[in-house]
Structure 1
Amino acid sequence: MKNQNQTVINSNIISHNIKLETLNTFLIKPSKPTPPNLKIFKLSLLDQLSPNIHGNSTFFFPNKYSSHSHSSFSHYSKLLQTSLSQTLSLFYPFAGRLQHSTDTRTGTTIHCNDDGVLFIESQTTTTLSQLLTNPDFNTLECFLPVPTTENQNMLLLVRFTLFSCGSTALTISLTHKISDFNTFMTFLNTWTAVCAATPVPLPDLTTASTLFPPRELPEMSASFTPSSKKFTSRRFIFHACKIEELKREIKREIEFFPSRVEVVLALIWRCALSASRSKTRTFKRSVLFQAVNLRPRMDPAVPETAVGNFVWSFVVTVEEECHMALHETVKRMRNGMKEFIENEAKTFKEEGGFKVVMESFKDRVETLIGSENEESVAIYKCSSWCKFPVLEFDFGWGKPVWNCCVNKLVSNTIALMDTKDGDGVEAFVTLDEDDMELFKQDEELLHYAVLNPRIII
């Protein structure tokens, strides 16, 4: 795996009912060398505080034609590789390598040395229809790029898979060290524009470190420990009619119109706590971290094309069981968001912003550490990708029918995104195995949500 044109055959991947055979492995480098003055890329303060773990997203593209062949797959793959090479010239840090300095004043930087990103071609005898009849997260794991000693320092990895029916899957694995979900979407917008030879949206690579300059940090700041317990993920669909029913139920008790994210998240959180409580028969104090995109909430607003981490979490806490009434939880979410935006988010880039960020980060770390040492605290983390057009990307052979993110590292997480029709909510919930067994049978949850229905191609 020395350059874009050299091929290496890797071992096959077998997971549950699916087998993936690796065909070729390429190293994709930027089409233009990075200029010497851009070789060292400074991370922002928020990048410094983000863990160096990869977020994975897989897009599934149905075959629109009655026939298929390896020649079509090869054509698509070459299109992806060529366009990716051109895109990396704009996102040149993605093709570099992290450099950990022993000087804490310098901190971590990215050496933009154009070493490249991994691109894997693979195939499976399974059809896309078989996979999407009952999507299983253990099976979906095999579509992820396999970490090896050769690629473990890469910031970006890609796997392109051919199904026996001619459908394809594209998995993109990008480190959180320099990317939040908005950055990921900006990258995809540029990549697909290059594929289509349409005007290319340019990334903003300077705003992050300008607004949040890197600082000397305590050693614990960027640490991350994967969950030690066994956990599992499940998918739930909240159709628009059920969300409206849930909104009407909650609206009777509050003075504002709740959002679909607020009502769905409140219900999931309550049912997850109920599953956890059933083992101990006691109510656990619970904390919910909700991720917020800071870009539109800064003053002035930060461009959507700004690359890096512009995400922070606000906290919602319930101390007593009576606080878990859905209307009460929704009110706490709304007040928590308002408090964060008005009194905290805007201060991040003001004089003394570093102190505000670090105090907030310290509180978050202490809460997370406390949950590991105190059985009476239940921590949940939520990200919402609703209103992001994740199913609108077209690399040249049509739009995806489904997208999923596989979580292999952290339990008690909730990820929300739009359903294909744009009106409902698709929830990916990850819980400890014992909790999930009870959670997925919760009658209140199943009144509003459908557990893992078939995805229609």
Structure 2
Amino acid sequence: MSTQLVRPLQPQRFEIRCNVADAIVANLAVHIVFFFQRQLDVRALSGAFAQALTNLPIFAGRIAMSRGRMRIRCEGQGVPFTTVSSDCTLRQAIRSASDDAGGWLVDPVNGPTARWGRGPLCKVRVTQLANDATAIGFSWHHAIGDMQTAMHFLNAWVAAAAGRPVTEPLIVEDRAAYLDEHLPADGAREPGVRCLGFAELARSALYLAKDARTQRILNLYFSDDEIARLRDAYGSRVRLSANDVVCAHVSESLMNADPAVDHRSLAIAVNTRKRCGLDPMLVGNILTTLNLELHRGQVAASIAERIRYSVDHFADDHCDMRINQQFLDAAGAWRAARCVSTAFNPNRWNPVVTNWSGFGVYRVRFEDTVPCYVTPLMKLPVAGIGTLMEGADGLGLAFQMSLPPMEFAAISNPGVREHLHRFRGAEDELPHLN
């Protein structure tokens, strides 16, 4: 194993003032693994990586506190870039990631450590597998930005490796002020954030220390044909997206998993750039959550229609980024450190779903080779957080969610799985994982 600290070729010195969305995810890191059916040139990868850092130096920065507010200082500090070899085959490595045992494929950023300025905000691990295949584990601190931000960097890395010009991202030094200036005047009337009370803090700390490690990762796969049947079944009155129907379909089963719970709040992450006409190249956490109440007995078709209606009216009725920032600014430094999304409830977990499909993860091309499989590694301390993204070879949708043991066992019951996949055909299997 070898590790080098890769820095931007032309270091820049600047500081970014974080916004409320950055503060909400201040302790979270995101890990994703790309699998290639080719042994990639590590030296070429690291050289191109340094060029990409020159365009997006924020990934080489460090978090700092200044005047009670979280900031990212970019001074070319660098990104640990590790290379290892493994006797595992490509199929074994993919299976490991699917079975929630793929931690060896990433060099994970430590969210809380990085949040207090004691560690890097991005790490890369390139694993040369046994059968001339390669896995690239990419880990970044969520305060840098959302999935669209990560894809700006990955696309810059790909362009640098291919010798093509890099599309310039939009990096603003005061994210909160920029959003206040550019977001529509209307939006949500109530903030989507709140401050945890001390009893809630204690309960959350106890859960992190005692129960978080027992969580299991639910993995579901829906083929394109299966999703088409879901859309036909649930969309008789409204045209629904694949995200609408899969979220609704899984939400119905989650509500049936625990007979003691009559309602939960479904939070769906919404990319505000797209919905509010912001620059698509804007770097940061330019997202917020759309919250919908789930009740026992609600059918999936009704849930899907409510999701679609709320998303279509997001800019006018649900965009709470401006009012959330006002709440954070008025809270003061100590209370702001306890600021969480209203979807977070330490007494009862709520599903929070992020849609990563459509970002182009299967177009991350190195040495004329695209990934055969891409997957997040869900090492999260909070139950209910889930992702949707394309399955192997970019086909269908893969759904992952971190669940407590009881709910995981309930959803994993063969009868429940059969009901979940009642729209599946005999041919609808996940490639590369059989």
Could you tell me the TM-score, scaled by structure 2's length?
Answer: 0.82
1:233 Cα deviation after fit: 1.1
Equivalent residue letter for 2:390:
D
Equivalent of residue 263 in structure 1, options 245, 248, 261? 245
Equivalent of residue 421 in structure 2, options 420, 423, 446? 446
Partners of 1:292 and 1:62 in 2: CA distance: 33
1:434 Cα deviation after fit: 2.2
Equivalent of residue 32 in structure 1, options 2, 6, 10? 10
Which residue in 1 is equivalent to 2:139?
173
Partners of 2:195 and 2:327 in 1: CA distance: 18
How many aligned positions are there?
397
Which residue in 2 is equivalent to 1:303?
279
Deviations 1:311-356 (A, max 9, x none): 100101024x23x2111111221233234322232x745xx67437
Q: In the alignment, is residue 121 of structure 1 matched against residue 92 of structure 2?
A: no
Taking only aligned residues, the RMSD between alpha carbons, in angstroms, comes to 3.2
Q: Is the 8 A contact 1:284 1:378 kept in 2?
A: no
Shift of the 433–303 alpha-carbon distance from structure 1 to 2, 3 Å rule, reads same
Is there any run of 5+ residues in structure 2 with no aligned partner, and where?
A: 182-192, 331-335
* SS of residue paired to 1:179: coil
Give aligned-pair identity as a percent: 21
Q: Is the 8 A contact 2:349 2:383 kept in 1?
A: no
Q: Is the 8 A contact 1:236 1:452 kept in 2?
A: no
1:275 Cα deviation after fit: 1.8
Shift of the 400–341 alpha-carbon distance from structure 1 to 2, 3 Å rule, reads same
Which residue in 2 is equivalent to 1:18?
none
Which residue in 2 is equivalent to 1:211?
178
Which residue in 1 is equivalent to 2:350?
379
Q: Which moved more, 1:178-187 or 1:234-243?
A: 234-243
Equivalent residue letter for 2:253:
C
Which residue in 1 is equivalent to 2:30?
55
Equivalent residue letter for 1:144:
V
1:322-361 superposed matches below 5 A:
322=297, 324-345=298-319, 348=321, 354-355=325-326
Q: In the alignment, is residue 242 of structure 1 matched against residue 226 of structure 2?
A: yes
Equivalent of residue 292 in structure 1, options 258, 270, 275? 270
* SS of residue paired to 1:306: coil
Which residue in 1 is equivalent to 2:65?
100
Could you tell me the TM-score, scaled by structure 1's length?
Answer: 0.78
Shift of the 416–56 alpha-carbon distance from structure 1 to 2, 3 Å rule, reads same
* SS of residue paired to 1:236: strand
Partners of 1:55 and 1:305 in 2: CA distance: 20
Q: Is the 8 A contact 1:348 1:356 kept in 2?
A: no
* SS of residue paired to 1:212: helix
Is there any run of 5+ residues in structure 1 with no aligned partner, and where?
A: 1-22, 64-71
Indicate the structure (1 or 2) with the bigger Cα radius of gyration. Answer: 1
Shift of the 449–121 alpha-carbon distance from structure 1 to 2, 3 Å rule, reads farther
Partners of 2:150 and 2:325 in 1: CA distance: 25
Deviations 1:216-261 (A, max 9, x none): x99869x996753421113222112222222222234xx2122111
Equivalent residue letter for 1:434:
M
Q: In the alignment, is residue 411 of structure 1 matched against residue 376 of structure 2?
A: no
Partners of 1:88 and 1:389 in 2: CA distance: 20
Which residue in 1 is equivalent to 2:432?
455
Q: Which moved more, 1:203-212 or 1:383-392?
A: 203-212
Q: Which moved more, 1:40-49 or 1:53-62?
A: 40-49
